[in-house]
Amino acid sequence: MDIRLIRLKRLEDLIHVLNVVQVPIVHHLALDSRHIYFIPFFFSTDSSIIYFYENERRLEGKFLLFNNFTGEVDITDKWTSDTRFTIIPIIDVEYQNVFPEKQLLSELRNQHAKEKREKEKKPIIKEEQSQ
């Protein structure tokens, strides 16, 4: 099976994907001291796409609340019946075979190394104080 991984920059981006495809579940997996939140999509062919958001810390809560009017995202342990919110459960994954964990770890490490190199290349610009 051909698996494509799409790393998202922000949690809000993951919520936007959910709203478009109307799959209201986010999977959570602790992997090598990182927390991966993902949405897998399987097609009728032998391919799939996995949208994911990576965070150093676990999101504290059982639900993501997307405010349909303001676009804000909150994290909570409590269910709400407030119609302003789309409620998205966070599902803790104990085991998965959706994607090879070694592949994801390798790609994450490569991406982190690349980001570190790019950060080191950027010149530090100090603001001159006007007198």
76 class by beta-carbon count within 10 Å (0-12 exposed, 13-18 middle, 19+ buried): middle
Structural domain that includes position 41: 2-121
In a domain, 114, yes or no: yes
In a domain, 79, yes or no: yes
Q: How far is residue 45's CA from residue 111's CA, in Å, rounded to a whole number?
A: 28
**Residue 80 domain-assigned?**
yes
Inside any domain, residue 82: yes
CA angle 107, 27, 81 (to 5 degrees): 145
Q: For 3-44, how does the pLDDT look when each residue is reduced to its tens digit (9 = 90+)?
A: 677 778 888 888 888 777 766 788 888 888 889 888 887 766
The answer to whether position 71 is within a domain reads yes
CA distance 8 to 13: 6
The domain tally of the chain equals 1
Question: Is the pLDDT higher at 100 or at 69?
Answer: 69
Q: What would the mean pLDDT of 69-97 be, rounded to a whole number?
A: 88
Per the domain annotation, does 112 fall within a domain?
yes
pTM, two decimal places? 0.68
Would you say residue 127 lies in a domain?
A: no
1 — pLDDT class (breaks 50, 70, 90):
low
Domain-embedded: residue 6: yes
